[in-house]
Structure 1
């Protein structure tokens, strides 16, 4: 992985990591990212669902998207993800912080037309969002495939930045509480849609917190 100067943060560089063993798990846990690029002389940022397959990340978009149709012409995009783990509460507001894991990466986007790679990207993204659902759902049709773009960005230039641990604070005897407030992303119990009346919750959606229909 390239070690360009822009992937070395100027603030707390010791928190930076450039190894796939740190970067890939963060990308795998993140459901969403922000993709930024310059188009027609203006900076654009688009929130996107994201999935990693090997040494690349994939996205999907409608073929009618004005912005995404232009991606193949771009030299690079910047992709960022952040996972917040704790609010760090210190004795001073100045020293409040966040325990987090983040990734910033740059790469040249490629629109995927090859059927098998495109199909595999959609399947992997769907399974990431709703594990176990691909084989349960109606099969994806060729018409649906044709209406959906698959965009690939190789992971060639990337940096993770991680902060974990208790607050760093001024030395003081004042009785002020310090510590961590955990931030958790939790999947709640599925809520049936209008067409699901009388249909049992499928096994892949059942979790310890799910209520069976």
Structure 2
């Protein structure tokens, strides 16, 4: 799939279409770097947007939660949903107030979520949730019990109708404004982790694992420099 080929009409980027990208690897890289998605749907005639964690396995996005969750109970009705993920890479300060912007990478997914009933697939999804947030964590922790599995709903959403939109680089001012004596440029932003805080009830001999002490969200921002 090329950058210009949208998978459907509703995923087609209409505002600044040159920033759109429909390639699988672009969409996957943004989803894998993000931590929280926004799930949009209609419940009782009202639009609702709920933030939640997620995980990805190949061409499928997974979301999970309690069987009592209003969001999950509503999604189980087979309604259309919209899932978005946004990464903010920088603040773009132009010479004019009008042209201030942000550098970002975002993904929008449309579709219908379905309940994961197979126990093995459910475990794969739960592992994906954990490894998405903390790579290397799943092999060390206790695996979910039968009761915990029964008390967790997992929904799958195929990444078929998905699109990405990105902006990188500095401000784009009007030609006359480049003569203004006003500082312009970008303030880069990134998510960084502070020093881990060990739980007070942990035995002293347990050391902080490397995946916690060296935690970082790996970015693929450099490959997206063409989006302006």
Matched, 1:56 2:56: no
Does the C-alpha gap of structure 1 residues 82 and 148 become closer, same or farther in structure 2, counting only changes over 3 Å?
A: same
Distance 2:130 2:31 in 1: 15
**1:156 CA drift (Å):** 1.2
Aligned to 2:31, the other structure's residue is in SS state: helix
Deviations 1:73-119 (A, max 9, x none): 12321000111111111101111111111111101101101000000
Does 1:205 find its partner at 2:212? Answer: yes
* Kept after mapping to 2: 8 A contact 1:30/1:50: no
Does residue 191 of structure 2 align to residue 185 of structure 1? yes
For this pair of structures, how many residues does the alignment match?
209
TM, length-normalised to structure 2: 0.86
Shift of 1:41: 1.4
CA distance in 2 between counterparts of 1:21 and 1:103 reads 12
- Find the counterpart in structure 2 of residue 173 from structure 1: 179
In structure 2, the partner of 1:73 is 77
Q: Unmatched 5+ residue regions in structure 1?
A: none
Does structure 1 residue 43 correspond to structure 2 residue 50? no
**CA separation in 2, counterparts of 1:23 and 1:153?**
14
CA distance in 2 between counterparts of 1:133 and 1:208 reads 11
Query: Do residues 114 (structure 1) and 118 (structure 2) align?
Result: yes
- Deviation of 1:13 after TM superposition, in Å, equals 1.1
1:99 partner SS: strand
1:30 is displaced (CA, Å) by 0.8
**Number of the residue aligned with 2:222:** none
Query: How far apart are residue 125 of structure 1 and its match?
Result: 1.1
**Displacement of 1:10 after TM fit?**
2.6
Question: 1 CA distance for matches of 2:191 and 2:113?
Answer: 29
SS in 2 for 1:189: coil
Aligned position for 2:17: 13
The offset of 1:192, in angstroms, is 1.7
How far 1:124 sits from its partner (Å)?
1.4
